[in-house]
Amino acid sequence: MTPANRQRMRDVTGRAVRTGLFPGGVGPHPHDHQPPPALAGTNDAGVDTLPTAAIPGTASTAPPAAGLPRRERFRAALEAIAGVVHEASSIDQAASIVAGLAERLGTRAILSWTDEAMALPGLTAALQARGLSIVDPDVPQRGDARPPRLAELAALPLGLTGADAGLAETGSVVLASGPGRSRMASLLVPVHVAVLRVDRLVDSISTLLATRGDLVAAGSNLVAITGPSRTADIEHTLSRGVHGPGEVHVILLEA
C-alpha cells in the first residue's frame, strides 16, 4: 500500500469504530425458544409438568458417530459425501492401490507430488515399478505454450498427493502448497488420490486452525478438500465433478 492509502484506511476506520455500536451479547430476545427463567419460589411442580419434549430446541443432538476413533469417523464422513476410503499398512501397499486405480482409469501417466513432499520415501519408485510414470508438472508461466500444456496436464486422469492433515468430522484432507506439491494434482484432474497418514488426523477444522496455525503459514496456499467437487445451483439438485475432481480417494496409511 502507498503510505497515503494505508493512512487513509487507518483514519477512516479508526474514526468509524469510535461511534459504532457493536453488540456482542445475545440481546434481549431469547433465541431458539429458550424459556424465560421461572420466578424464584415458583411452583416447581407446575413447571416440571410442562411437556418439555413439546418445546423445540431443548433436545441436544450429538455429532454423528461421536466417540468412535478418528479414522472411523473420517471414513463415515467421507463416504457419506461420495468419497472413497482405502486402507494401507505400508507405502508399497499404497502404491498398489494407486496402480489399481490408474489401471481402472486406463492410464499409466499420472500427476503426483514428490516423495519428499508427501513424506513417503520410496512411493515414486514403487509406482514406477508397477509401470506408472509421473508426469512433470512444470508449466510455462505465460505465453502461448501455456494453455495447451495445462490442457495436457488436465487430460491426465489421476492426480496423487499426500496430506498434511485430515479432519475426522468432515472427511477432509488438508494440503499445503510448497516445493514438489503441485496444486494441479488435486485440482485439474478428474480423480484425486490423497495418501493420509492416520496419525495426522485431527477432529475438525476448528481444532486444526486452533492448533496448527503453522500450516497456514507453511505455503502460499492451504486447502481443506472435503470430497468431490459439487454444485446444487440448479434447483438445489446435487451434481458432482463440476470444476474440481469428481472422484476423491483417500488412502489411510498406518504410520
Partner 1 sequence: MRPARVQLLVTCLVDRFFPGTGESVVRVLERAGVTVSVPAGQTCCGQPAFNAGHDDEARTLARYTIDLLSASDDPVVVPSGSCGDMVIHQYAALLADDPEYGPKAQALAARTYELTIFLTRVLGVTDVGAQGTGTISYHPCCHGLRGLGIAGEPKALLAGVHGATTCPLPEAEVCCGFGGLFAVKMSNISGEMLARKLDAIEACGADTIAVTDVSCGMHMNGGLRRRGSKVRVEHIADVLAGEAPGAKERS
Partner 2 sequence: MNAVDVPFYRRVEDALTKTRMRQAVRHTSGRAMESRRAAIAELDSSDAIRDQARAIRSRTLAALDQHLDTFATNVEKNGGTVFFAETGEDAVEYIRRLARDRGIRTIVKGKSMVSEEIELNPVLELDGFEVVETDLGEYIVQLDGDKPSHIVAPILHKTKEDCARVFKEKLGASDEDVAGVPQMTQLARRTLRKAFLKADMGITGVNFGVAETGSVTICTNEGNGRLSSSLPRVYVAMMGMERLVPTAADLGVMLEVLGRSGTGQRLTVYSNILSGPRRPGEADGPEEFHVVIVDNGRSKVLASELAEILYCIRCGACLYACPVYQQIGGHAYGSVYSGPVGSVLSPALAGIRAFHDLPHASTLCGACREVCPVRIDIPRMLLRLRAEGVEAGESPQWVSLGMKVLGWLGTRPRMFNLAGRVAARAAGLAASDGWIRELPLHLSGWTASRDFPAPAKESFQERWAKRHGGAS
Residues 96-135 that bind partner 2 (CB under 8 A): none
Q: Which helix (H) or strand (E) holds 202?
A: strand 201-202
- Strand, coil or helix: 98: helix
Least CB distance to partner 1 at residue 51 (A)? 6
Q: Which does 255 bind (CB under 5 to 8 A by kind): partner 1, partner 2, none?
A: none
CB 202 within 8 A of CB 213: no
Q: Which helix (H) or strand (E) holds 109?
A: strand 109-112
CA gap 132, 143 in Å, rounded: 30
Least CB distance to partner 2 at residue 39 (A)? 23
Least CB distance to partner 1 at residue 38 (A)? 5
CB 135 within 8 A of CB 109: yes
Is residue 162 classed exposed, middle or buried when 0-12, 13-18 and 19+ CB atoms within 10 A define those classes? buried
What character string, x for contact with partner 2 (CB under 8 A) and - otherwise, covers 196-235? --------xxxxxxx--x--xx-xxxxxxxxxxxxxxxxx
List residues near partner 1 by CB under 8 A.
28-31, 33-36, 38-47, 49-52, 54-57
Range 19-58, binding partner 2 (CB under 8 A): 19-24, 26-27, 29, 31-32
Cell (9 digits) for 26:
445475545
Q: Which is nearer to partner 2, 53 or 255 (CB)?
A: 53
Q: State the residue for C-alpha cell 505465460.
A: 142
Q: Which is nearer to partner 2, 99 or 159 (CB)?
A: 159
